[in-house]
Structure 1
Amino acid sequence: MTTVRETVHELLRGWGLTTVFGNPGSNELPFLDRFPADFRYVLGLHEGTVLAMADGYAQATGRPALVNLHAAAGLGNAMGNLANARQQHTPLIVTAGQQARNMVGLGAMLSEPELTTVPRPHVKAALEPLRAQDVPRALAEAYHLSTLPPAGPVFVSLPLDDWAAEVVPHEVEHLGRRRVTSLAAPAEGEIERLAARLDAAKAPVLVVGPEADREPVFDQVVKLAEAANLPVWLPPGPPRCGFPTTHPHYRGVLPNTVNGITETLAGHDFVLVLGAPVFRYHVNKPGPFLPAGTELVAVISDPAAAARSPMGDALVGDVGEVVSRLAGLVTGSGRPPVPPRPAAQAVPAASAPFPAEAVFDVLADVLPPDAVLVNESTSNTGAFWARIPIRRSGGLYFPAAGGLGFGLPAAVGVALADPGRRVFAVLGDGAAQYGIQGLWTAAHHRLPITFLVLRNDEYGALRRFTGRLGVSEVPGMDLPGIDVVSVARGYGLPARRVEDAGALRDALAATGGPLVVEVPITRT
């Protein structure tokens, strides 16, 4: 007979899901029983770390990833990073082991009758098969649904006693051959009308979001910006970088407030947003959503984001399809060339504690051309974006929902996806603690990652918010006594603390396996 486990292993092989990210418990052991020799199990020491590793891996490969978590508690541990994955539309098949079916109603240990409600609202769907024989079809549904636009995580609850059950051959024989593809295309004339509006504008501007950060869309956006003479901004808090920050048309990252964006876009009569919500604000500083007389069109794959926008028109569809056609239609209408953005002034520093700007200047100087950056130093994002060059697609990852714990393990997932590119994880000393267990996986797989931990002994971003929110005398802002170097060595990684500029340069230029570099920086 053919079992559910054997059938699922064969389906996963056909879908290319032979890398499994997990932290196993007793409910998951029957799935892992007789684990195929051609599969790879990537162990994380905490479920939040596991989820972020899979998120980084799926984003870097552009394909779904499979996550195997332990029961309701393990799924709960992963929720913070599941929110990031949902916001970024990362295709993940997230599974958790349910107790044996006859034990769930008894309230047995590791059972949860409402397990499918635990990951909501951060999944596209949550499934639990009604019969053991439905497990293969439920996983097939999750696989296809996770990839359909807008992509995102899908959850499947898997009772532990289902795996040994016999499948019904005619119920599963078609699953591995099915292909589910989105064929949505812009309506007749929509691209031409958009091109005409862009050409008719006197001072248009382009805002490029994370959906443009893939080949060949990345290069097509550059072509569009040059053809139409458009200055280019990134949206607030960009989780990916859809435009090279070294390009002369690049202007920076939009502020995260309503009035800040309105002031920044003043003087522009037309705003074209590609692949980003309009807009993801953070700090409550209200005002007009756009400058008076300014029109806006957003192109995005997410119908919910398009529908909730408070201003402008929206085209729901594939950003790549729109950009490739639009770039060949626009003329620029004789607008003058976009002047280059002034370069950031160098901030020299001879010894610790360094200004964050000085650290980023050194990092920018030693970065390999194909390096990947994962940023989770939230108190220094302005300095980061002003100084770090992103030259190609897949060059930058940031927690999309703002949840800490993404950066360190996501860097592990990105490196597993493409070990030929060196990864630099730029982390705050507070943020690093949320995913610190990922250091063990990096050491175990000897991944080419430099973990740059900026140590200021505080939650710097929170301290900055105390001023913005008008609060004072807030506890819990300081983080004294965290020795990241010792922690890293305990996980098996080489680590060093740098105190002068020469040692900083040498550490950041180092190659080979994983390395943790702790750098004291000035406080907020």
Structure 2
Amino acid sequence: MTTVNEAAWELLRRHGMTTVFGNPGSNELPFLAGMPEDFRYVLGLHEGAVLGMADGFAQATGRPAFVNLHAASGTGNAMGALTNAWYAHTPLVITAGQQVRSTIGQEVMLSNVDATLLPRPLVKHAAEPTCAQDVVRTLSQALHTATLDPAGPVYVSVPYDDWSAEAGTDTAHLLERRVTIGGGLAEAEIARLAGVLDAATAPVLVLGPDVDSARANDDAVVLAERLGADVWVAPSASRCPFPTVHPAFRGVLPASVTGITERLTGHDVVLVIGAPVFRYHQYDPGEYLPTGTRLLHVSCDPGEAARAPMGDAVVTPIGPAVAALAKAVTPRPEPERWAAAGDTDVARLPDAAAGDAGSERLVAADVLATLDALAPEDAVWVNEATSTVGDFWAAIRMRRPGSYYFPASGGLGFGMPAAVGVQLADPERRVIAVIGDGSANYGITALWSAARYRVPVVFVILSNGTYGALRGFATKLDALNAPGLDVPGIDFVALAEGYGVPAGRASTLADLRTAFETALAAQTPVLIEVTTEALARM
């Protein structure tokens, strides 16, 4: 007899999902007790860190990650991190243990009451199998749903007595199933879009995180070069879809109506690929587009296409669409402004003595420039220093796909666990996590997982004693008298060492250079706390 437990593990194995991220409770033990030896269990000390690690792992591999949470309480602890996964289109199969099936209606201790409603609206689908024999089919539906465009998290609650039940003979069909989606746009639609772009006098590209998810970065470069079009990254960028060292790169659009309109002025056609149109943040009303500007939108998410306030949208897989458009547009001469920009791939290593005088704290821009100059060219950056985002994009040179990760919804707690997950997924490239001191406290337990599994992330904590992004908004909103803006007195070196991670403090750029070079040479996680000025570019 094949049990539900055995069939479920085999289903996961067939789909290459042999890493489990979790924090177990009593309801999950019957499932986990049957885990085969070829599977790897990654323990997190808090469910937010568990989901953050899985989020980073899935984004870096491009494949679904498997998460096991504890009933309603564990799911609740993970909801903040789930927000980022939802907006990042991260394929996650999230399971939660449920009490014995016959007792659920009694709402006994640790029941997941109304389990399918609990994670909504932050999942594509949520289910609790109607009987034990439907568990494996429900898991199969979950993993296919998670990966189909637009990818995203899916949630399954399983009563723990189901795992020992007989699976049934139909399970064999589930193990062989594959679900794929159509390859791309029809030729007529490609020709239409290419015709609009060819007729444009000054086209511009706005690229979003789904370009990087689809690994369409190289085709995006070809498209920009053939069009002679400048390239902006969509607001609140959670990934880097275009090499920042390319002369066409103009930076990240601000998350405001007026700010975007100002930067798009002078362009008659705006092509947005792989991003919403647009994810605004600060309230700065104005006209959505400059007068006379037309917007085209290519998205893998029908929801994004439907809710946009302007533009003509096409819903299609991103990778094939970018490749097809790059081939279809008519080549133009390289713009003179690109040549005038000079070599943009030049390191800027600040004077090491700059941090030795005049202030007890370093300037964030100098810290980031130092990290960039010393980091490997193929480094992967995980950023959750939210008050220094502008400085980050100005300093850090990113050349390859999969080089940047940032919380897609702005929910804090992503950075430290996501860095662990990304490094587990991509061990050949070094992951550098740049984390604000306010953000770090939301995911600090990820340090234990990094130490436990010897995941060699370099964590750089920018410590300014305040919630920098929040203080920036308080300035704009005339709310500097609000409480809770500062977080002084936290010793991250002591915290890291308590979790088993070697750590040190840098108060000068010379200290930082030495500490960072030592960290890069290590085969274990290392944390560097850097004292920085409170104000930086957002």
Task: Provide, for residues 457-476 of structure 1, a one-character-per-residue CA deviation record: whole Å limited to 9, x for no partner.
Answer: 00010000012223231100
Task: Provide, for residues 179-228 of structure 1, a one-character-per-residue CA deviation record: whole Å limited to 9, x for no partner.
Answer: 11001531341111111111111111111111111565111111111111
Contact 1:250 1:341 in 2 (8 A): no
Question: Counterparts of 1:65-214 in structure 2 under 5 Å?
Answer: 65-169=65-169, 171-183=170-182, 185-214=184-213
State the secondary structure of the residue aligned to 1:434: coil
Aligned-residue offset at 1:418: 1.3
Aligned-residue offset at 1:367: 1.1
Partner of 1:473: 481
Quote the Cα distance in structure 1 between the aligned partners of 2:214 and 2:189.
23
Task: Provide, for residues 130-169 of structure 1, a one-character-per-residue CA deviation record: whole Å limited to 9, x for no partner.
Answer: 1011110000000100001000000000101111111211
When normalised by structure 2's length, the TM-score is 0.95
- The answer to whether 1:319 aligns with 2:330 is no
The alpha-carbon distance between structure 1 residues 37 and 7, as it changes in their structure 2 partners (threshold 3 A), is same
Partner of 2:534: 523
Amino acid at match of 2:312: D
Amino acid at match of 1:52: G
338-347 vs 323-332, which deviates more? 338-347
Contact 2:57 2:425 in 1 (8 A): yes
Among residues 350, 370, 374, which one is paired with 2:378 in the alignment?
Answer: 370
In structure 2, stretches of 5+ residues that fail to align are none
Contact 1:208 1:233 in 2 (8 A): yes
Aligned-residue offset at 1:397: 0.2
Amino acid at match of 1:466: A
Task: Provide, for residues 397-434 of structure 1, a one-character-per-residue CA deviation record: whole Å limited to 9, x for no partner.
Answer: 00001100000000000011111211000000010010
Task: Provide, for residues 287-330 of structure 1, a one-character-per-residue CA deviation record: whole Å limited to 9, x for no partner.
Answer: 10000000010111001101111111111101211111111222
Amino acid at match of 2:300: S
State the secondary structure of the residue aligned to 1:350: helix
Contact 2:55 2:90 in 1 (8 A): yes
Aligned-residue offset at 1:68: 0.1
Quote the Cα distance in structure 1 between the aligned partners of 2:327 and 2:3.
53
Partner of 1:226: 225
Contact 2:211 2:274 in 1 (8 A): yes
Q: Percent identity?
A: 56
The alpha-carbon distance between structure 1 residues 374 and 29, as it changes in their structure 2 partners (threshold 3 A), is same
Contact 1:57 1:417 in 2 (8 A): yes
The alpha-carbon distance between structure 1 residues 369 and 346, as it changes in their structure 2 partners (threshold 3 A), is closer
Partner of 1:331: 330
Contact 1:199 1:333 in 2 (8 A): no
Quote the Cα distance in structure 1 between the aligned partners of 2:336 and 2:116.
54
- The answer to whether 1:497 aligns with 2:502 is no
Quote the Cα distance in structure 1 between the aligned partners of 2:514 and 2:438.
24
Amino acid at match of 2:26: S
Quote the Cα distance in structure 1 between the aligned partners of 2:23 and 2:384.
23
Contact 1:347 1:358 in 2 (8 A): yes
Amino acid at match of 2:103: M
Quote the Cα distance in structure 1 between the aligned partners of 2:148 and 2:497.
42
State the secondary structure of the residue aligned to 1:189: helix
Among residues 355, 366, 371, which one is paired with 1:350 in the alignment?
Answer: 355
Aligned-residue offset at 1:333: 4.5
Amino acid at match of 1:313: D
Partner of 1:359: 367
Quote the Cα distance in structure 2 between the aligned partners of 1:470 and 1:258.
21
Quote the Cα distance in structure 2 between the aligned partners of 1:224 and 1:521.
40
State the secondary structure of the residue aligned to 2:95: strand
State the secondary structure of the residue aligned to 2:140: helix
- The answer to whether 1:392 aligns with 2:400 is yes
Quote the Cα distance in structure 1 between the aligned partners of 2:112 and 2:490.
37
Partner of 2:297: 298
Question: Counterparts of 1:424-435 in structure 2 under 5 Å?
Answer: 424-435=432-443
The alpha-carbon distance between structure 1 residues 226 and 83, as it changes in their structure 2 partners (threshold 3 A), is same
Contact 1:497 1:518 in 2 (8 A): yes
Quote the Cα distance in structure 1 between the aligned partners of 2:401 and 2:515.
26
Quote the Cα distance in structure 2 between the aligned partners of 1:50 and 1:341.
43
Task: Provide, for residues 228-273 of structure 1, a one-character-per-residue CA deviation record: whole Å limited to 9, x for no partner.
Answer: 1110100111101000001111000001100000011111111011
State the secondary structure of the residue aligned to 1:298: strand
Partner of 2:412: 404
State the secondary structure of the residue aligned to 1:66: strand
In structure 1, stretches of 5+ residues that fail to align are none
Aligned-residue offset at 1:114: 0.6
Partner of 1:2: 2
Partner of 1:262: 261
Quote the Cα distance in structure 2 between the aligned partners of 1:370 and 1:166.
49
Partner of 1:34: 34
Amino acid at match of 2:528: V
195-204 vs 513-522, which deviates more? 195-204
The alpha-carbon distance between structure 1 residues 214 and 110, as it changes in their structure 2 partners (threshold 3 A), is closer
Q: How much is the aligned-residue C-alpha RMSD, in angstroms?
A: 1.4
336-345 vs 301-310, which deviates more? 336-345
Contact 1:494 1:514 in 2 (8 A): yes
The alpha-carbon distance between structure 1 residues 289 and 402, as it changes in their structure 2 partners (threshold 3 A), is same
The alpha-carbon distance between structure 1 residues 451 and 359, as it changes in their structure 2 partners (threshold 3 A), is same
Quote the Cα distance in structure 2 between the aligned partners of 1:337 and 1:159.
65
493-502 vs 39-48, which deviates more? 493-502
Contact 1:200 1:333 in 2 (8 A): no
Quote the Cα distance in structure 2 between the aligned partners of 1:314 and 1:334.
28
The alpha-carbon distance between structure 1 residues 216 and 69, as it changes in their structure 2 partners (threshold 3 A), is closer
Aligned-residue offset at 1:499: 1.6
Aligned-residue offset at 1:350: 2.3
Partner of 1:246: 245
Aligned-residue offset at 1:338: 4.0
Contact 1:455 1:519 in 2 (8 A): yes
Amino acid at match of 1:303: P
Quote the Cα distance in structure 2 between the aligned partners of 1:345 and 1:143.
45
State the secondary structure of the residue aligned to 1:207: strand
The alpha-carbon distance between structure 1 residues 385 and 437, as it changes in their structure 2 partners (threshold 3 A), is same
Aligned-residue offset at 1:486: 0.2
Amino acid at match of 2:324: R
